[in-house]
Amino acid sequence: MIVDVHAHAWTSPEQLGPAAYHKIQNLTPSPEQHLDAGPSARHPAMANVDWVILHGLAAEQAGAKVRTEDVAMAIDAAPEKTMGFAGIDPIAAGPRANELIDHAKILGMVGITICPAAASMHPCHTRAMALYERCEHEKLPVFVLGSSLFGNAATMPFAQPEQFDQIARDFPNLHLVMGEVGRPWIEPVLTLISNHPHMYASIDGLIGQPWMLYQSLLLADQYRATEKLLFASGFPFCTPKMALVNLYSVNQYAVNTHLPHISRRKIRNIVERNALACLGLESHPVNHPPETSRVKLLSREGAIT
C-alpha cells in the first residue's frame, strides 16, 4: 500500500495568503497552470498511490484559508482513495474550535491540520492545547504543516519543533505528523519522532529537493528514525510519481564516491509504510453520510466555514 499523507486541496493558490501566493508566483512563470491542485490535475497525479490525504488550511495571520468544505468536495470527486484533514487555526477559532471540529467530523474529516508559524501561534498556546486534548479524545491525528511556503508571513520561532516534545508528553495517545520533517529543524524532529511512539514525520518538501532528501535520510538512519518517516508528495509542488522517482534514485549521489548508500529496503519501507495504520486510521470509517452527499450537507443553511 502506498499512502500519500500530504496533498493540498486548494482550488487557487491565492487561498494560501498573499505571502505564499507571491512565493508561488516566483516558482513558475504561470503558477495557475503549473501548480494546479484542482481535480483535473489531482486525479491523474494520484494514480500512483492507493490513498491520499487532502489537507485544508486555516492561518488567519498569513491570510490562508482552504475551507473544510473545499476538502470535502475534493473527497467527493474521488471517495475511493481520498481522506481529508480539516485546517483549523486555534487562535482565530477561539471558543468555536470545538464547533469547527464537530463540523469537520460531520463532513467526514479524519484529522486536523495546523500551522503554528503561519497562524503566529505558539504550539503550546492554551487554545492549541485544548485542540490537542480534543483530538486525542476523538482519535483525530494532527498534521503540523511546515512553514517554508509562507515566507515572511511565518513566525519562525513558532515553527521550531522542540515545543512538541511537551505536547507529545502531555498527550501521549495523540498521533502527530511533522510536515517536511520539520525543515530547517530536521535533526530535532528526527530526535522527537524517535523518542515518541505516536509522532511521525512526512517527507513532503524534502521530496522535491533530492540532495536535501539524501542528507535527511542519512540522518534519519543515524537517529534510528527511518521507520517513523511517512511518504508524502506535497502535491502540487511535487507529484507522487516524481516523489517516487526521487526517493528511489536518492543514492545517485553516492555512485562512484565514498558517500554512504541508503538501504533500498529502508527506502521501500518508507514508500510502502501503512501510514493509515500508523495514524490510527486503518479501521476508521471514511464518513460518507448515508442517503446524502457532502455537497448536500454543505448546502445546508448555516454551514460553518
User: In the structure grid, which three cell numbers stand for residue 143, read together?
Assistant: 498534521
Residue 33 pLDDT exceeds 50: no
Superfamily of domain 3-280: Metal-dependent hydrolases (3.20.20.140)
Mean pLDDT of 234-256: 95
pLDDT tens-place string over residues 41-62: 899 999 999 999 999 999 999 9
Distance of CA 50 to the CA centre of its chain: 17
Evaluated on CA atoms 118, 189, 195, 54, the torsion sign reads positive
Query: For residue 102, what pLDDT band results from cuts at 50, 70 and 90?
Result: very high
Residue 30 pLDDT exceeds 60: no
Between CA 278 and CA 140 the distance in angstroms is: 12
Between CA 222 and CA 218 the distance in angstroms is: 6
Distance of CA 153 to the CA centre of its chain: 19
Quick check: bond before 31 cis, omega within 30?
A: no
Buried b (16+ CB within 10 A) or exposed e, 22-52: ebbeeeeeebeeebbbeeebbeebbebbebb
Q: Is 113 in contact with 86 (CB distance < 8 Å)?
A: yes
Query: For residue 26, what pLDDT band results from cuts at 50, 70 and 90?
Result: confident
pTM of the model: 0.92
The pLDDT > 70 percentage for the chain reads: 90
Residue 100 pLDDT exceeds 60: yes
The pLDDT > 90 percentage for the chain reads: 83
Residue 1 pLDDT exceeds 60: yes
| pLDDT value at residue 250 | 96
User: At a CB cut-off of 8 Å and minimum separation 6, what does 33 contact?
Assistant: none
Based on its alpha-carbon atoms, the radius of gyration of the chain, rounded to whole angstroms, reads 18
Q: What angle do CA 112, 270, 205 make, to 5 degrees?
A: 60
pLDDT tens-place string over residues 171-228: 999 999 999 999 999 999 999 999 999 999 999 999 999 999 999 999 999 999 999 9
Residue 36 pLDDT exceeds 70: yes
In angstroms, how far apart are the furthest CA atoms of the chain?
64
Residue 291 pLDDT exceeds 60: no
User: In the structure grid, which three cell numbers stand for residue 287, read together?
Assistant: 464518513
Q: Across the chain, what does the average pLDDT equal? A: 91
Residue 20 pLDDT exceeds 90: yes
Q: Is 264 exposed, middle or buried (0-12, 13-18, 19+ CB in 10 A)?
A: exposed
Domain definitions of the chain by residue range: 3-280
